[in-house]
C-alpha cells in the first residue's frame, strides 16, 4: 500500500501565490504541483510562498520540480521570489545536500491565516505512467544541471526513466495509467 500523497491548499493574495503543502510531497504529487505553478506563472505570478509546516518529506522528484520553479523565479529577478516557510529539518537538509537551498528564501513565516481558495488534487490516478516518468526525468535532469555533484546521485535513475520512456514510446503510446 502506497503512502498518501500531499494535499496542496492554494490562495492568491495580491501578487503572491501562497500554498500549504501537507503530507508527503512525492513523485505522485509532482505533476499536479508542476501544473499548478506553471499555470500561475502563465498568469504572471512571480512570488510564491510555500508553507511546509505540515510537509513531512519531499522526494527528489518533487524537489526537482520545486528547484525548476526556484531557478526560473531567481532568474526573473526584481520582486520575484520563492519562499519556503517552516521546512522541517529533513527537508532543509535535503535542499542543502542537493545544493539548491540558495534558490529559495527560507523563513519561519506564520501562515495560520491561510484560507485555501483551491485544493489541488494530487492523485496520480489522473496521470499516465509516461507523464509520471517524464515529470520525474525532467526533475532529476534539472537537479543534475543545477549542481554537478547531483549527477552521481541521479545518473542511474535518469537513465532508467529515459529508457522506460523510450520503451513506452516504442510500444505505441503513453502506457497504462499510473496506479500508486
CB atoms within 10 A of CB 136: 25
Residue 175: per-residue pLDDT: 46
Task: Please list the rounded mean pLDDT of every run of 10 residues in the chain (180 residues).
Answer: 74 92 93 93 96 95 97 91 97 97 95 70 72 96 97 97 93 52
What are the residue boundaries of the structural domains of the chain, listed by start?
7-124
Between β-strands 7-13 and 118-120, what pairing exists: parallel, antiparallel or unpaired?
antiparallel
User: What is d(CA 158, CA 177) in angstroms, rounded to the nearest whole number?
Assistant: 21
What's the pLDDT tens digit per position in 25-37? 999 999 999 999 9
Residue 178: per-residue pLDDT: 44
- Is the domain defined by 7-124 classed in CATH 3.30.750.24? yes
Amino acid at each position: 500500500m502506497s503512502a498518501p500523497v500531499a494535499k496542496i491548499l492554494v490562495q492568491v493574495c495580491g501578487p503572491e501565490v501562497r500554498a500549504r503543502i501537507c503530507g508527503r510531497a512525492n513523485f505522485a504529487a509532482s505533476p499536479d504541483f508542476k501544473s499548478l505553478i506553471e499555470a500561475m506563472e502563465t498568469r504572471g505570478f512571480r512570488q510564491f510562498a510555500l508553507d511546509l509546516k505540515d510537509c513531512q518529506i519531499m522526494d527528489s522528484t518533487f524537489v526537482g520540480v520545486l528547484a525548476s520553479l526556484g531557478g526560473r523565479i531567481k532568474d526573473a529577478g526584481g520582486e520575484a521570489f520563492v519562499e519556503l516557510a517552516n521546512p522541517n529539518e529533513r527537508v532543509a537538509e535535503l535542499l542543502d545536500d542537493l545544493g539548491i537551498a540558495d534558490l529559495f528564501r527560507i523563513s519561519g513565516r506564520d501562515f495560520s491565516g491561510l484560507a485555501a481558495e483551491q485544493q489541488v488534487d494530487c492523485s496520480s490516478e489522473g496521470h499516465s505512467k509516461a507523464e509520471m516518468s517524464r515529470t520525474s526525468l525532467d526533475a532529476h535532469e534539472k537537479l543534475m544541471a543545477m549542481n554537478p555533484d547531483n549527477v552521481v546521485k541521479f545518473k542511474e535513475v535518469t537513465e532508467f526513466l529515459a529508457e522506460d520512456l523510450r520503451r513506452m514510446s516504442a510500444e505505441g503510446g503513453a502506457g497504462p495509467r499510473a496506479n500508486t
